[in-house]
């Protein structure tokens, strides 16, 4: 998983490279477009993975809290 600063850096690189190579009109080359698309997909997958992990951890904490509450009664 990427940290927030790493994700922002990759987003900046993808955006700047998209603009730069678009101005040069060489985005149709697979060697240029490929890494840009891969960088974009890395950020999107990181967003999805990062959102799912805290939800799973939160569910575990809720279960533990319920078990602790039932033991106290």
Residue 73 has pLDDT above 70, yes or no: no
* CB neighbour list of residue 17: distance below 8 Å, 6 or more residues apart: 32, 35, 36, 39
Mean pLDDT of the chain: 85
**pLDDT class of 9 with cuts at 50, 70, 90:** very high
53: containing domain? 4-72
pLDDT in the model for residue 62: 80
3-state SS track over the chain: CCCHHHHHHHHHHHHHHHHHHHHCCCCCCHHHHHHHHHHHHHHHHHHHHHHHHHHHHHHHHHHHHHHHHHHHC
| Average confidence (pLDDT) over 22-29 | 92
Residue 5: half-sphere exposure toward Cβ, Cα within 13 Å? 0
Convert the pLDDT of each residue in 29-50 to its tens digit.
Answer: 999 999 999 999 999 998 888 7
Q: What is the pTM of this model?
A: 0.66
Q: How many domains does the chain have?
A: 1
């Amino acid at each position: 998983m990427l940290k927030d600063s790493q994700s922002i850096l990759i987003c900046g690189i993808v955006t700047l490279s998209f603009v730069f190579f678009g101005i040069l009109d060489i985005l149709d080359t697979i060697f240029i477009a490929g890494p840009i698309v891969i960088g974009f997909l890395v950020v999107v997958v990181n967003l999805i993975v990062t959102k799912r992990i805290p939800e799973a951890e939160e569910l575990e904490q809720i279960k533990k809290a319920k078990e602790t509450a039932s033991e106290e009664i």
